[in-house]
A and B are shown apart, each in its own frame.
Chain A
């Protein structure tokens, strides 16, 4: 007779032996729990002064090892940081001048923005949020195209398939599921595409965050969930969103590995994300990376940050500025010299200047195009409405012509 205690029960079997997490943890000589839980402290490689943290104090350990990227990659990251900061501040100014409808700035979060783009291969995908303009630009999308929707237009400006970047939009965490689907389709075809799925701290409260992480873990697809914890969801602090030990701790509940990294440390962010992308690709499994950072400016220009946080807190984070830290580190290592720094600044100015010019020009949009893409072929009703608007526009043009 079968002993009911020892009879295997597939319906309640713990996903352990033979699972990808089990195999991965065994390869590092640690338990699955040790692998899935974040390291004892945030991964940090540069201190707030930009000095290299001694390797035994970086927070790394078996299964949580993050090699420092090569000098060439670090220099590229620095150039993208400088350009990102310039883009953030230029766009912020353009909104104040009334040339942009809105801009959610990532000033202060540029290390996360750049890391997200630089950790991926050209064949990989990125699913950004509305605050990830700098990531999308760092991925190679033309800044002018990225800014189209913020200018007040009705479309996202760039071709998501050409750049392998999801369309930025405002619903929270819905795009994480799109990331899972893209990865799943690739996996079914035998492609090793990694997808980076981005969201903020507030968004981790949304139901789709849970569904996306669970689907990714169950489907065993290579998605790296990248949470930029910038402290606030508009005005609500993280403490009101979650009382988990950290957002990275949420990973273990889904059977995936989580890591927490200093989000204002360009070296650590890039090292952690590159390792996560590598592991996701090698093992076809998802990972969660939480970057602890800070939104230095208001949520958007329509927001008044003085109502929910004090100046001193902002000043404290100013001292951890990712740009300054990276510049000091690269200079002290001899990777960045004055000539290179000048070139990088000049390139960033060029981008800012092209943004100023483009956003000052009136967009030459055809209002009738709003009917053209709703369906592959417009319905009879849409064609009738298009004709109606066309007629209205022509009558307006005629009466304006008569008045002149």
Chain B
């Protein structure tokens, strides 16, 4: 993987890698650190080549301790840096939670806005890669529940590049969830075109902003399938399959959980009158629950049917051989569409 040059076919991983190297090039206060991110380039190779290009002062390995990584990043951010830290896997981020919840989320508030922590916590998350226990959690709800954190999760190659650039430039701490099953996905995006758009400040290159910008990735009229991160591509496939049955499904990618784009959510549900929320995480007390609650509060009079959720089961993430039964797939989404009330 080359860090400097972009090709017309990019992967999700190369988009993230290029976003970091472009950000480091643009701003010398951007530093990248974590476990195995230096010489190895990360266990998923997302930081590949950064140490070689920028030196060990800018991208470096730390001792194996997640609270240490997060806490050190707090201090570096206090002292003028923009740290981008990598948590090796979703469930390995838990030792850092005290730093995340008690300081990273609260520092700006506690200091009346005098100390902001412009840092990014990158977390490869979700399943679909045959990972063992502790390697496939969808932990976004824990972070989204904590005031003071922003939670981004891109679903496409172009979004991966632009949203990571935006996360690094954001004054608030951002937890950046990378759907690991998408790392090797490809798209015909020219990263240098994206770089140009982002660095020239083109409005359309800012995908989150202060209030979030959910995006309609497929237009439809009968039902809205609302999703984010790893589930968006599944939702799109389900919408395509539903079209064959004569159902016109619109798919909304939330892009960020915090900030939460309620405007786009209300717009699509008022348009279609039906909603199915799809997410990999366990459904109980989840982001999917929050989306569902907001639809009920804001769109009650537009609804022709109860809102349904298609999520992971309320179990610890299952073993690799069983994950296919756990993850929301096209068939389960189609079943939910069938279950909606279609008669007046």
The finding on whether chains A and B are genuine partners in a shared complex, rather than unrelated, reads yes
User: Which residues of A come within 8 Å of B, CB atoms?
Assistant: 125, 154-156, 159-162, 166-167, 169, 171, 174, 176-186, 188-189, 207-208, 211-212, 214-215, 218, 369, 372-377, 379-381
Q: Given contacts A178-B103, A186-B79, A215-B63, is CB(A155)–CB(B112) below 8 Å?
A: yes
Contact with A along B125-150 (1 / 0, CB 8 A): 00000000000000000000001101
A-B pairs, 5 with minimum CB distance: A181-B75, A177-B71, A211-B68, A185-B79, A373-B113
**Given A167-B111, A174-B102, A185-B75, 10 other A-B residues pairs in contact with their CB atoms under 8 A:** A160-B78, A166-B78, A180-B68, A181-B71, A181-B74, A372-B113, A373-B109, A373-B113, A380-B260, A381-B262
Interface contact A181-B77, CB-CB below 8 Å: yes
Interface contact B108-A373, CB-CB below 8 Å: yes
| B31 surroundings in chain A (CB, below 8 A) | 188
Q: Given contacts A167-B115, A177-B99, is CB(A381)–CB(B260) below 8 Å?
A: yes
| B63 surroundings in chain A (CB, below 8 A) | 211, 214-215, 218
Which residues of chain B (86-131) have a CB below 8 Å from chain A?
95, 98-99, 102-103, 107-116
Nearest chain-A residue to B173 (Cβ)? Answer: A375
B80 within 8 A of A: yes
Q: Given contacts A159-B114, A182-B78, is CB(A208)–CB(B71) below 8 Å?
A: yes
Interface contact B62-A215, CB-CB below 8 Å: yes
| B81 surroundings in chain A (CB, below 8 A) | 185, 188
Jot down 29 A-B pairs with beta carbons below 8 A, ordered by A: A155-B111, A156-B110, A159-B111, A160-B111, A160-B115, A167-B110, A169-B103, A171-B98, A171-B102, A174-B71, A177-B70, A177-B75, A178-B74, A178-B78, A181-B79, A182-B75, A182-B79, A207-B95, A212-B71, A214-B65, A215-B65, A215-B68, A375-B108, A375-B172, A375-B210, A377-B210, A379-B211, A379-B260, A380-B259
| A176 surroundings in chain B (CB, below 8 A) | 71
Interface contact B262-A380, CB-CB below 8 Å: yes
Nearest chain-B residue to A185 (Cβ)? Answer: B79
Interface contact A376-B171, CB-CB below 8 Å: yes
B23 within 8 A of A: no
A182 to B95, CA, bound (A): 21
A297 to chain B, nearest CB (A): 26
| B259 surroundings in chain A (CB, below 8 A) | 375, 379-380
Interface contact B112-A174, CB-CB below 8 Å: no
Interface contact B210-A211, CB-CB below 8 Å: no
B211 to chain A, nearest CB (A): 5
B258 within 8 A of A: yes
Q: Given contacts A177-B75, A184-B75, A211-B67, is CB(A380)–CB(B211) below 8 Å?
A: yes
Nearest chain-B residue to A177 (Cβ)? Answer: B71
User: Which residues of B come within 8 Å of A, CB atoms?
Assistant: 31, 57, 62-63, 65, 67-68, 70-81, 83, 95, 98-99, 102-103, 107-116, 147-148, 150, 170-172, 210-211, 258-260, 262-263
Q: Is the interface of B mostly helix, strand, loop or mixed?
A: mixed
A6 to B139, CA, bound (A): 48
A167 to B83, CA, bound (A): 20
A174 to B72, CA, bound (A): 10
A61 to chain B, nearest CB (A): 32
A125 to B74, CA, bound (A): 14
Cβ-Cβ contact count across A and B, 8 Å cutoff: 146
| B71 surroundings in chain A (CB, below 8 A) | 174, 176-178, 180-181, 208, 211-212
Q: Given contacts A160-B114, A160-B115, A185-B79, is CB(A211)–CB(B109) below 8 Å?
A: no
B146 to chain A, nearest CB (A): 11
Nearest chain-B residue to A211 (Cβ)? Answer: B68
Q: Given contacts A155-B109, A376-B116, is CB(A183)–CB(B172) below 8 Å?
A: no
| A184 surroundings in chain B (CB, below 8 A) | 72, 75-76
A389 to B72, CA, bound (A): 37
| A159 surroundings in chain B (CB, below 8 A) | 111, 114
| B99 surroundings in chain A (CB, below 8 A) | 174, 177, 208
Interface contact A182-B103, CB-CB below 8 Å: no
Pick from B57, B103, B150 the residue with the most CB of A within 10 Å. Answer: B103
| B67 surroundings in chain A (CB, below 8 A) | 174, 177, 207-208, 211
Partner of A375, one of B57, B77, B103, B148: B148
A372 to B148, CA, bound (A): 11
A211 to B63, CA, bound (A): 8
| B57 surroundings in chain A (CB, below 8 A) | 188
A184 to B57, CA, bound (A): 10
Nearest chain-B residue to A187 (Cβ)? Answer: B57
Interface contact B111-A174, CB-CB below 8 Å: no
Partner of B72, one of A162, A181, A186, A189: A181
B254 to chain A, nearest CB (A): 14
| A374 surroundings in chain B (CB, below 8 A) | 108-109, 147-148
Q: Given contacts A160-B115, A167-B110, A208-B67, is CB(A180)–CB(B211) below 8 Å?
A: no
Nearest chain-B residue to A375 (Cβ)? Answer: B172
Interface contact A155-B110, CB-CB below 8 Å: yes
Q: Given contacts A185-B75, A188-B31, A207-B67, is CB(A174)–CB(B103) below 8 Å?
A: yes
Nearest chain-A residue to B259 (Cβ)? Answer: A379
A105 to chain B, nearest CB (A): 22
| B68 surroundings in chain A (CB, below 8 A) | 177, 180, 208, 211-212, 214-215
| A155 surroundings in chain B (CB, below 8 A) | 109-112
A186 to B57, CA, bound (A): 12
Interface contact B75-A167, CB-CB below 8 Å: no
A155 to B113, CA, bound (A): 10
Interface contact A185-B65, CB-CB below 8 Å: no
| A169 surroundings in chain B (CB, below 8 A) | 102-103, 110
Nearest chain-B residue to A381 (Cβ)? Answer: B260
A266 to B327, CA, bound (A): 64
B257 to chain A, nearest CB (A): 11
B111 to chain A, nearest CB (A): 6
